[in-house]
Amino acid sequence: MGGLVSWFRRDEEVRLENDGTFATENVTVIRGICHFNGRTIIDRHTITMSDPCAEATCWAPLKVVLLTKCPTPELGYGCTLVNGSQAEYPWCCPQAICY
């Protein structure tokens, strides 16, 4: 991932890179632990989730969680988009199945 953006919009995701990485300020931090989307994440640790299908990293000093969402699969000729499983990221990401 490239450099961290130095500003954020309240309660919105801000796209950081073209790789599906976003930042959100919808985060409560208590004693160095991010509370986000019903989950707790220790500062500078990463968890994987299935809903949403993403990887989340806590940056407690900034009160930010960085989200890495699924890349958009490229659909070539004869390919179909298939939803991922109910597993955690990245296995929950949609995939291109080509025949």
Residue 84 lies in a domain: no
Radius of gyration of the chain (CA): 15
Distance CA 57, CA 16 (A): 14
**For residue 19, pLDDT beyond 80:** no
Number of independent structural domains in the chain: 1
Residue 21 lies in a domain: yes
Model confidence over 42-95: pLDDT tens digits? Answer: 999 999 999 889 999 999 999 999 999 998 888 889 999 998 888 999 999 999
Residue 94 lies in a domain: no
pTM score above 0.75 = no
Residue 24 lies in a domain: yes
Distance CA 60, CA 83 (A): 33
Residue 18 lies in a domain: yes
**Dihedral sign, CA of 72, 26, 43, 53?**
negative
Residue 39 lies in a domain: yes
Residue numbers of the domain that contains 39 = 13-69
Residue 71 CB contacts under 8 Å (≥ 6 apart), including other chains: 19, 20, 93
